[in-house]
Amino acid sequence: MHLDHSPSHSHSHDGPSALSADAHRPDGSRRAIRIGLGGPVGSGKTATVAALCHALRDELSLAVVTNDIYTREDAEFLLREAVLPPERITAVETGACPHTAIRDDISANLEAVEDLEDEVGPLDLILVESGGDNLTATFSKGLVDAQIFVIDVAGGDDIPRKGGPGVTTADLLVVNKTDLAPYVGSDLARMAADAKAQRAELPVVFQSLRDDKGVAAVADWVRGQLAAWTAA
């Protein structure tokens, strides 16, 4: 390993850029925590990101990276909702495979997060949103420090039981759109029990962005992750 990407060594200002998940930037300062949001198509990842930006932008310096499949739709939704200034939102193109860009070949996403820190930093938090993908799509540990997997009640209440790397290993599982449960015949108690069986002690949040609490529980979890990151 190179001296210049080991956190235990001092960093020179003219050193070449960071390589991977190094907790420090080339100038020696601690970088922002990176939190990934993944999950199936239409489960509410972008809506959750938008709500998190609303909830956290007054207390934290944050930015967002989106990984769309074939457009800039997610980035444009965030821009239209004006959740953050445009220079704090970057869209990564994934060549039809978001799971490749967040897990197997993370180089474009690493550039996006590093450039955001260089250009609009210092940042406390960068949210990296995956394009909608399958139940096995998880983020590389070289890209994010923690990950949220977002599913929804309308996608079938058997998803927690089916498991898969996203459901079983994500640091936080969010079951979204709980307001729709009565209309689509989803059993929230069963989803909670199945999630508990798959995830043991890992946390699960049931949320509806349409009720008063909205994204509050997820925002609290993010604050906790950031506190732990800052203290580390």
Partner 1 sequence: MSRAALLVLADGRFPAGGHAHSGGAEAAVKAGRITGAASLEEFCRGRLHTSGLVSASLAAAAALGLDPVELDEAADARTPSAALRTAARRLGRQMMRAARATWPHPELDAVARLFPKGAHQPVVLGVAARAAGLGADDAAYCSLYESVSGAATATVRLLSLDPFDATGVLARLAPAMDLVARDAVDAARRAVEDGVDALPAGSAPLLEISAEAHAAWAVRLFAS
Q: Indicate the residue type of 114.
A: E
Q: Is 209 in the site for partner 1 (CB under 8 A)?
A: no
User: Could you say which of 6, 7, 30, 70 contacts partner 1 (CB under 8 A)?
Assistant: 70
- Residue in 6, 7, 9, 19 binding partner 1, rule: CB under 8 A: 19
Kindly tell me which of 86 and 95 has the beta carbon lying closer to partner 1.
95
Instruction: Judge contact between 221 and 205, C-beta under 8 A.
Output: yes
The answer to whether 65 and 144 are in contact (CB under 8 A) is no
d(CA 51, CA 67): 18
Local structure of 49: helix, strand or coil:
helix
Does 104 bind partner 1 (CB under 8 A)? Our answer is yes
Q: Which is nearer to partner 1, 59 or 105 (CB)?
A: 105
Shortest reach from residue 5's CB to partner 1, in Å: 8
| 105 near partner 1 (CB under 8 A) | yes
Distance CA 157, CA 1 (A): 46
Q: What amino acid is encoded at 232 in this protein?
A: A
95 is an interface residue for partner 1 by CB under 8 A: yes
Q: Does 69 contact partner 1 by CB under 8 A?
A: yes
**Which residues on adjacent β-strands are paired with residue 89?**
64
Q: Is 16 in the site for partner 1 (CB under 8 A)?
A: yes
Q: For residues 113 and 205, which CB has a smaller minimum distance to partner 1 in the complex?
A: 113
Q: Does residue 93 bind partner 1 (CB under 8 A)?
A: yes
Q: Is 96 in the site for partner 1 (CB under 8 A)?
A: yes
Size of the site for partner 1 (CB under 8 A): 27
Cα–Cα distance between 63 and 102 in angstroms, integer? 17
Give the integer Cα–Cα distance in Å for 111 and 176: 30
CA distance 221 to 215: 10
| Contact residues for partner 1, defined by CB under 8 A | 1-2, 4, 14-17, 19-20, 69-72, 93-97, 100-101, 104-108, 110-111
